[in-house]
Amino acid sequence: MTDKPETHLQTLWRQQPTEVKAMSAIEIHALAQRFQSKIYRRNIREYALCAAGALIFGFAIVISPDPWMKAACLLIIAGLAFYTFILHSRGRADREGLRTVGENCRQFHIDALTRQRDLVGGLWLWGVAPVVPGLALFMGRRLVLAPAKALPILLAADAVAIVLLVGVIAMNLWAAHRLQKRIDALKG
């Protein structure tokens, strides 16, 4: 050994095995509770938005004389219904489960985070893609039916809608990445 004694003791001290513990069960439970509440509120908001969208496009079906527009609106409503179904079946909050989970709260929270990570990471496929056919038909048909001078405004509106959809996908992919970091931290 060529180290100075104090350096050697520093090394010994730093190399000793230690327990790297993450968070107490109480805090994990509080986090899990907050997470489930957040999921619950998010889902209520999404259901409300989908219902509002279905009402608007449903109204458009009634008032529009064009069969293609009617078909586009119907497809959008079907896409929204599919989105709501997946959100409810795979992404609903499990607040009752949290109340009865007991000491396995950490695993419960990790599982919940994992489910939400998979859900938001795959949003482009189950949330956005089903709405795209109806939306594309709606946009295309609207351009065909609109007067020429309204085209620039409609094209700009379509571009904004597309940017918003891409933005939603990007934000959800980022959210999935952040959820993964939280899962890693809990797994220690």
Please give the distance of CA 9 from its chain centroid, rounded to a whole number.
50
Nearest to 143 by CA among 40, 87, 66, 63: 66
Tokens found for residue 129: 């893609």
Give the x/- contact pattern for other proteins in 162-181, rule: CB under 8 A. Answer: ----------------x--x
Amino acid in position 26 = I
Which DSSP string corresponds to 149-165?
A: GGHHHHHHHHHHHHHHH
Ramachandran angles phi, psi of 43, nearest 5°: -65, -40
Nearer to other proteins, 14 or 149 (CB): 14
Give the x/- contact pattern for other proteins in 123-162, rule: CB under 8 A. Answer: ----------------------------------------
Give the x/- contact pattern for other proteins in 23-62, rule: CB under 8 A. Answer: xx-xx--xx--x----------------------------
Nearest to 121 by CA among 180, 80, 161: 180
Nearer to other proteins, 18 or 100 (CB): 18
Amino acid in position 137 = L
Residues contacting other proteins: total by CB under 8 A: 29
2, 14, 96, 152: which one contacts other proteins (CB under 8 A)?
14
Contact positions vs other proteins (CB under 8 A) = 4-6, 8-10, 12-14, 16, 18-24, 26-27, 30-31, 34, 178, 181-182, 184-186, 188
